[in-house]
Each structure stands twice: as structure tokens, then as C-alpha cells.
Chain A
């Protein structure tokens, strides 16, 4: 593990609705080393996706400090271009995250054009090859692709600008086991090839233990325990919630 690429300190996220205040994330702190795969696991509503939204710059209601590389953001500060160019996100649902009326080519070219990249065409072909999609898919629409192929497009889109950190929000939970294996293989291959750092959110302990070097277990907005790869292998943990989670995942 290299130096810390991402450092999150005292992160608090809350949503208000009228007078009601709901705290989604409470005092969360963790570090992710460059080239590491860090996992977040927990039940639904525990705040793991919220953390990703803050990190990707899609959420403004937060407090604390987020440092990515040499860029630091504090207390709900908006992400600057230098920050956002380093981080990309892959969403859970490949059906919902691609524009249904844009071809794959348009989906992939648009971010490049917005950022004024030269040679758009070449880059699009390059990422398509990286994610193992044939060129003939380039001018198709999302509905003409299978779930696995769509998730490949979503990964290609995340890779376009060579991000240092890729946020993966349940990238395989909408897919079949056989397709999930293909996507996980692809993610590992890309990591080897490009040295990307992953922050992987999942509720599937199998996926997490397969992919991650370290994993933080979350419950009700807090990180209750951080487990190493060894802990996962031997299913050793100290917090009762983690024990529950391990037991449920192993025997269900």
C-alpha cells in the first residue's frame, strides 16, 4: 500500500426536512492508499452510498474534510475541476445510469467533448477495448445491450478521463452470478493495468472479500469496525454487528 490517496476526516452528513433532521453519516474517518481496494459494507440505509455521493461531489450537505491527492475540500465545499477529474463513479443499476436515447458513442464522447479533449474518437475506441466491448457496440443504444455489457459501458465511461479513484456503488448487484464474475474479473484486470484505486460499496460479503484489501463495516451511519483481508478470510471480528453480518452472509 502506497501513500494515502483519499483521506476522509470527521465526515458528517445530514438531511433536513422541515424541522426533522436525519443524520445519515456520523463522524466517519478512513484512509484509502493509492492502488488499494477499500470496501464499505453494511445493511441498507447505513450511509455507505451517501459517503460515495459526498466523495463524488454530488452531495452538498456535509461537514468534515475530504482530501483526494493534493485537493482538499471542507464542509460542503463544491468539488473543483482539479478534484472531480480525479474521481469517477460507477452506479448500481446499469439500466438506469445510461441515457436511453443516446448511443454508446454519444454517452462516451460527451464527457470528452465537455472537457475539451482532442481525438475523441480514438479515446472512445480505446476505452471500449479496455472494457472488452467490441467496436460494433459503439453505435448501439443501451436497450440493445445486455446488463453485463451495459455495466461495461458504465465502467468505460468512468475510465475516460483516467481517474485515480473509482467509486463503485454496488457494481454487480443487479447482475447474474455468471455476469458478476465477468465484471469482477474486468475490474481486477483494469486495476492491474491502470493502477486505479477502488472504493467498493456492496452488501455482498463474497464480492467484498474477493475484491478488497480492507473493508469498513458500517451501521447506522458509523464505521463500527475495519477488517483486513486476513480477518475476512478467517472471519474474525470483534464487533457484534460484524459477527451478525458475517454469519448471515455465510449461511444464507
Chain B
């Protein structure tokens, strides 16, 4: 995968009290690897991903010293040139398939549309390819699913359809924004494993955004921990449980389990984190 470089990324929104900076001086580089971004809601992890794809709408403002993908400067792209990147070289999977699939289009047409817009698949073969891909992501009866409308599918199937729509163009980088948090625990594992398998097989890069430390530790190589719009810590995923920053430690400590039974869970000491961050 070509290199993605982000330096000093800032996203701010104007309010009547002045600008609020929601992503603050974020920078990272990645190649073919699985990068996780964790943080609580409002920490700016989703907006970072959206900024990389140029999906922040006005009046939001994005500035960066450098934001390049494969040598292309993402900051200065116009809408037309974005189209050759978005959905083609960088794909994105959103949280809830119910909201992000088109409700009045059959699944096969939605997936085919993505492929044909970018001319990545031969038009005559596109429907065949759709069925093939559905089978690849573990859909047992691809023909039935391909002819369904999104509301006829379960959450797990819906998310598989989303993933197929994003993978059909074989992008270099996949951004998954909480891909499984709308799903059942049982289905969650299956979808993540399938996604992981496909990414490894294609040698793609992955940015996995999640608030679940366990998920990220399992499916990523490297993890960025965000708090209040900043990256407070970067560590290897297998070392996540040895992380040092008080926020990360706090997040790890507040997870309930059989071992914590009968005890009070520790809660985040926000004052201490603020002190450390400044």
C-alpha cells in the first residue's frame, strides 16, 4: 500500500463562542499495516477519518501541514479528483449498515454501482463479480442476498454487503469506523474475522476506529489513543495492555468482567489526565 502521511491535522467548527477545535495537531504515517484509533465518543477519532477522506462539510474547517496519500496532496483536491480516490483507492465502512445503504436499491445494484462508477470491473461481468464477492465474505446464498433490499437483511449481512461494496474496487486502504458496534456479539466476531482475512489477503492497509480496546488489540498492529482531539499515546497493539498514559490506563481499568465482581470499577480521573496532557 502506498504511504498515507498526515501532519498537524486540525479540524474545527465555528460556534457562536468562537471556533471549537475537535481534532488538534494529529499526525501519523502508515503503510501496509492495520492501524487502530481508540477513544471515547467526542475524542475526534471519526472526524480524523472523515478529514482524511475529505468528508467534513462546511462550516467545518480542515487544515493540515501535510496530508498526502501515495504522493497526492489530499488537502487541495477538488470534488472531481476526490472521486478517483474515494471509494476507489480509499474505502470507508460506516457504523450502521441500516443508515449507510440505499434503502430503495437492491443490494446487487448498489454494489455494482460502486464498481461501475470507478470503471474497476468489466461492465458485462459486474453482476457475476458481485455474487463472487458476496460468497467470498461468507454469505451463504449470494443470489438471494443480491436481490434483497437492505431492510430485508440482518445487521451482520448488511455490514457484509457494505464491506463488499468497499472491497470490490480493491482499494489500497480501508477505513472502518466502528464497523461492528451496531452488531450482535456473536456476529461481531465473524464480521471482524472476515474483514481481517480479506485485508490480509489483498495486502491492504486498514484504519480501524473503535471505542473497544479489546477489538483493537486483537485486529490491529499499531494503536493510536485519542483524547479530546489529540493523540495522547501510540503503541503496538500487543503492548496495549502495558500502555502508560493515564487515559489509556483508565480506559483499561474501567472494563467490567468476572474478575471485577463485587468491586467498584475505577472511573477516569479526568483532572489527572488533563494535568498530564498539558
Contact = CB atoms under 8 A, between A and B. Distances in A.
A184 to B, nearest CB: 6
B97 to A, nearest CB: 14
A176 B258 contact: no
B192 interface: yes
Interface string B41-84: 10000000000000000000000000000000000000000000
Contact of A204 (B185, B186, B250, B267): B185
B186 to A, nearest CB: 5
Contacts of A210: 256-258, 260-261, 265
A71 B213 CA distance: 45
Given A209-B258, A233-B258, A178 B250 contact: yes
Q: Is the interface of A mostly helix, strand, loop or mixed?
A: helix
Interface residues of A, number: 32
B215 interface: yes
Contacts of B267: 178, 181-182, 185
Contact of B40 (A178, A244, A252): A178
A205 interface: yes
A252 B188 CA distance: 7
A197 to B, nearest CB: 17
Contacts of A206: 255-257
B251 A252 contact: no
B258 A232 contact: yes
Given A176-B211, A252-B218, A181 B188 contact: no
A182 B260 CA distance: 14
Interface string B246-278: 000011001111111100111110000000000
Contact of A176 (B40, B155, B184, B185): B40
Nearest to B43: A176
A211 interface: yes
A207 interface: yes
Contacts of A188: 264
A180 B185 contact: no
B214 interface: yes
B103 interface: no
Interface of B: 40-41, 155, 184-189, 192, 211-215, 218, 250-251, 254-261, 264-268
Given A180-B256, A206-B256, A248-B186, 14 more contacts: A177-B213, A181-B254, A181-B255, A181-B267, A181-B268, A188-B264, A207-B256, A209-B258, A210-B260, A232-B258, A233-B259, A251-B189, A251-B214, A252-B214
12 contacts: A178-B254, A181-B267, A182-B267, A204-B185, A206-B255, A206-B256, A206-B257, A209-B257, A209-B258, A210-B256, A210-B260, A245-B186
**3 shortest A-B CB distances, which residue pairs?**
A210-B256, A181-B254, A209-B258
